[in-house]
Chain A
């Protein structure tokens, strides 16, 4: 520290001399890494500390080797090199091309505006290297490609604005650098919309360059600019230029990109479709390049679905792809393109169903997943039974991962829009049961949710639900699978709730109390025990009413003793939930214990009868689905003062109650509430309830307000029309497919509360993206309309007059003729005329520009 500056210099230069003499090269580092792979991390950390020292060296060679090693370690061993950003930028101006290239490589791999703002320091150096060709003839012609590469990967808006003018000469002068300049200009342009006035016109000019590579790069740039989520409409006026590339280019690479651009423009301007369909059909018929044919198929399928000839050709090609037995790539792509036909040309999917089903068992996961998506895409009400049964069978044979993927697709698509695909709920419910039994099934949560949901929403499905639940409950082997606990718990709830459909209550109780239930988690066990209580209540009631033939004296006796024997020990359970319910159950058993002596003794029977009736009442409340928006829809009356009187109630409502309620609500995906709570109130009206109701009474008296209808008629009407109204509006089906639906029995009603129950709004999601995109497309619109003084509008005039090369004209005339012929054949002349008269509002962009108008007419 105390040493004079001169001696520090001496020391540092001596140490850096030692560094450069004994420095390990990159090859040395790689060799040592390879020689001892086990101690890799030690070698790396030693190397990093060496690099820390070496990179501060004043010797450029030492420094550059250090940077090279660091780049290597950072790129392939993921060590951070953000600390070295400054050293990297320091080496950019090096006079040695080798060092310079190392520095640029290091910068392009490690520097990014999101991690460091040091990149701004290199602005001048990038400018110097970009313009090196025009400034000195001696420098390497490859020099500008280095800053172009860096710009394309690490440009910041600031850097883009400063360097955009330097790109213009590179864009406009034909050279091997031109394609690179185009690609870099695209990145700069998309990053920084303010560079549009500078870069857009030269970019457009590149579309008509003589160098095919430049054209290819320019088409690629516009393909990216128009790609979603960007708005493609600003590029509509470029359609004539791009069309010329389509008919003139010989490069498949270029043509593919051109087709991609058109597939984004045609939906905006349907008249473009009839222009491009001809060359596309020609490629489909004649091209040998599979990649180009594939792109043509995609274009036709996505944006020319009304052009019959093109569609026929495309579907033919898809079939060819699907039948390529020796090439899985083509089969994969065939399936993928087939899926694009889904909503409009379902018949084509149906035609190939065999191939698709076959592909489900393909060893290739990509193919089988694609086939699965296709299967789901072609599922309709009419064929859902067939397809879903096939899929579930397939799932049973597949490996765990794919099996769950199949189950997931089946469950999601069948449950969509309130089980719209499902006509026969008995079938679907038993399918759910089957799915649960598939080995490795991990979709228990969703299956149980749907089982309960169907129980609530579809009355007609309840008998079958109970049957399926029984099968699940009586199988002791299922109790060992922890993925199924939620399903079993749902099954237990269903068999308790809808016990009236059960054929053999005794068997049910035995299943619910079998020894292996001890394996269940507390939550499921609690449901089991509660269900036993429901079954017991039901059985006693039917015994007393002597209507149920299945229940007789012996059955009740056995049931009671079984419950006492198995549940008794659980009364001391550690789990509050279980203990609570066990005590309830045992209490009930004791209450009705004398029932077995049912002998006609009026007084005694009468008492038991009362008790049982009361308990039946307790469970007779129908559970219904509750809309998640239900609370919100109740308007708060203006004169409602929640604070004034209800504050008196606070002593009755403890915090615990509120907590419990919210807890349950957040836990359960389905909200349950008793519909006719009046009945239950009568049974368990305790002193607290009474007090509560009196204070409510008082409140009503004072304010004359009745939030809930309490008069008799209303209550009765509530009881009869208690069940939520059914929303029977179904989505319209394709006429074609609707006819094919063979409904053997009427579809039961599914209770829907509101259409928006499951809808999520996504508008806020894309706001930010849109804002940025708007800036870019707005700037481009401006550039195209020539608002920036001497704008490219004149360039278009020039280029459209240049259009008149004889070859072009010939083609133009030819296609126009063939179009006219077509339109005459199909009697579309009239529609065309109308088009001309009143252009759609959606294509206002094209109205302002005569260029495209001329092109289309």
Chain B
């Protein structure tokens, strides 16, 4: 399974973290620190795989892509194929790119919820459920549309109506 999806800036700041096996915040911080140290020490033009046994357990690995100011990192175990994971990162990046029209770090910083929506349409509980980026986008857009219509329906009364209703 996929153990975690992380987006970390080249400054070492986490921009998106999703762990598919629960980790308490302190442990999360430790993981980010470890992963950043492992990745920032690597030169360009080397392979995209790094062993992660010491942090995610035996036979786990990280696959990452360095894009501009971001590291996009997936952690996975022996039930996943390395090259497939590399492809999955590509799918994720492409989807974000289409979603935000030339994605940059700022998009990722200011769209916390949307990022999670995209990710959740692609991976659920560590299992890949969709790999077609157009399909993912379609689902994300659908959700946004439905959300909007449900909130416009009740935008005005929302806070006030509940107050009067009490």
Bound: A257/B1 CA distance, A: 11
Q: Is the interface of B mostly helix, strand, loop or mixed?
A: mixed
Contact A224 B79 (CB under 8 A): yes
* Minimum-distance CB pairs A-B, first 7: A152-B125, A291-B83, A364-B46, A328-B47, A112-B22, A183-B127, A78-B25
B102 in the interface (beta carbon within 8 A): no
Which A residues lie within 8 Å of B82 (CB)? 291, 294, 329, 333
Asked whether B162 lies within 8 Å of A60 as measured between CB atoms, the reply is yes
Collect the chain B residues with CB atoms within 8 Å of residue A490's CB.
none
Task: Return chain A residues, CB-CB under 8 Å to B150.
Answer: 96-98, 140
1/0 per residue, CB under 8 A from A, across B98-110: the answer is 0000000000011
Among residues 61 to 79 in chain B, which have CB atoms less than 8 Å away from a CB atom of chain A?
Answer: 77-79
Instruction: Say yes or no for A655: interface residue by CB 8 A criterion.
Output: no
Contact A260 B130 (CB under 8 A): no
Q: Are the C-beta atoms of B162 and A367 separated by less than 8 Å?
A: no
Output the least CB separation between B41 and chain A (Å). 8
Are B83 and A217 touching (Cβ within 8 A)? no
Nearest to A76 among chain B residues (CB) is B14
With an 8 A cutoff between CB atoms, is A732 at the interface?
Answer: no
Expressed in whole angstroms, the Cα–Cα distance for A62 and B163 within the complex equals 12
User: Any chain B CB within 8 A of the CB of A552?
Assistant: no
- Inter-chain contact B78/A329, CB cutoff 8 Å: no
- Is there a chain B Cβ closer than 8 Å to A61's Cβ? yes
Answer whether residue B37 sits at the interface, using C-beta atoms and an 8 A cutoff: no
* Residues in chain A near residue B1, CB distance under 8 A: 224
Q: Name the one of A13, A182, A260, A332 contacting B49, with C-beta atoms under 8 angstroms.
A: A332
Q: Is A180 an interface residue (CB 8 A)?
A: yes
> B159 contacts A253, CB within 8 Å?
no
| Closest CB in chain B relative to A318 CB, distance in Å | 14
> Considering only CB atoms, which chain A residue lies closest to B129 in the complex?
A179
Interface assignment of A34: CB less than 8 Å from any CB of chain B: yes
Q: A252-B84, A256-B84, A291-B87 provided; 9 other pairs, C-beta below 8 A?
A: A58-B162, A80-B25, A145-B120, A149-B125, A223-B79, A291-B82, A328-B45, A362-B46, A363-B43
Q: Do A148 and B14 have beta carbons less than 8 Å apart?
A: no
**Quick one: which of B22, B50, B77, B81 has the most chain A CB within 10 A?**
B81
> How does the 8 Å CB contact mask read for A88-115 relative to B, with 1 for contact and 0 for none?
0000000111100110010001001011
Could you name 21 residue pairs across A and B whose Cβ atoms are closer than 8 Å?
A: A26-B112, A58-B162, A58-B166, A59-B163, A75-B14, A76-B13, A76-B16, A76-B112, A97-B150, A105-B116, A142-B142, A142-B143, A153-B22, A180-B124, A187-B125, A223-B79, A252-B84, A291-B87, A295-B81, A328-B47, A365-B41
- Of B79, B110, B125, the residue contacting A260 (CB under 8 A) is B79
When distances are taken between beta carbons in the complex, the residues of chain B under 8 Å from A366 are 46-47, 49-51
- The residues of B that contact A34 with a CB separation of less than 8 Å are 109
Chain A residues lying within 8 Å of B79, measured Cβ to Cβ, are: 223-224, 227, 257, 260
Shortest Cβ distance from A333 into B: residue: B82
Indicate if the CB atoms of B29 and A96 lie closer than 8 Å. Answer: no
Give complex CA distance A183, B2 in Å.
Answer: 12
Kindly provide the distance from the CB of A287 to the nearest chain B CB, expressed in whole angstroms: 12
Residues of B whose CB lies within 8 Å of any CB of A are 1, 13-18, 20, 22, 24-26, 28-29, 41-43, 45-51, 77-79, 81-84, 86-87, 109-110, 112-113, 116-117, 120, 124-131, 139, 142-143, 146-147, 150-151, 154, 158-159, 162-163, 166
CA distance A76 to B129 in the complex (A): 25
Closest chain B residue to A290, Cβ basis: B83
- Given A332-B49, A364-B47, decide whether A98 and B109 contact each other with a Cβ distance below 8 A: no
Complex contacts, B130 vs chain A, CB 8 Å: 179, 213
- Minimum CB distance partner of B112 in chain A: A72
Chain B residues near A80: list those with CB within 8 A.
25
B17, B45, B83, B151: which contacts A75 (Cβ < 8 A)? B17
Q: A152-B125, A183-B127, A365-B42 are in contact. Are A78 and B28 (CB under 8 A)?
A: yes
Asked whether A247 is an interface residue with its Cβ less than 8 Å from the other chain, the reply is no
Interface contact tally, CB-CB below 8 A: 172
Q: Cβ of B116: which chain A residues have Cβ within 8 Å of it? A: 105
**Chain B residues with CB below 8 A from A331, complex form:** 47
Evaluate contact between B131 and A253: CB separation under 8 angstroms. Answer: yes
Q: Across the interface, do B15 and A294 meet the contact criterion of CB distance under 8 Å?
A: no
Which residues in B have their C-beta under 8 angstroms from that of A105? 113, 116
Interface status of A20 (Cβ within 8 A of chain B): yes
Interface: A176 (CB within 8 A): yes
Interface hits, A1-42 → B, CB 8 Å? 13, 20, 26-27, 30, 34
A61 close to B158 (CB less than 8 A): yes
Chain B residues contacting A213 (CB-CB under 8 Å) are 129-130
Q: How far is the CA of A97 from the CA of B120 in the complex (A)?
A: 16
Q: Which residue of B lies closest to A364 (CB)?
A: B46
Q: Quick check: A78 and B49 within 8 Å, CB to CB?
A: no
- In the bound assembly, the distance between CA atoms of A305 and B145 in angstroms comes to 54
Do the beta carbons of B83 and A96 come within 8 Å of each other? Answer: no
Q: Quick one: CB contact mask for A161-194 with B, threshold 8 Å, 1 for yes? A: 0000000000000001001101110110000000
Contact of A291 among B48, B84, B124, B163 (CB under 8 A): B84
Q: Is the CB of B151 within 8 A of A329?
A: no
Q: Is the CB of A329 within 8 A of B110?
A: no
Let me know if A472 is at the binding interface, CB within 8 A: no
Measured CB to CB, the nearest residue on chain B to A328 is B47
Q: How far is the CA of A167 from the CA of B28 in the complex (A)?
A: 31
Q: Is A221 an interface residue (CB 8 A)?
A: yes
Residues of chain B with a CB closer than 8 A to A183's CB: 124-127, 129
CA distance A151 to B1 in the complex (A): 16
Expressed in whole angstroms, the Cα–Cα distance for A105 and B110 within the complex equals 16
Inter-chain CA distance A101–B114, complex, in Å, is 11
Contacts of A95 in B (CB 8 A): 154
**A846 near B: Cβ within 8 Å?**
no
Evaluate whether A329 and B125 lie within 8 angstroms (CB atoms) in the complex, with A142-B143, A224-B1, A294-B81 already known.
no
> Does A220 make an interface contact (CB < 8 A)?
yes
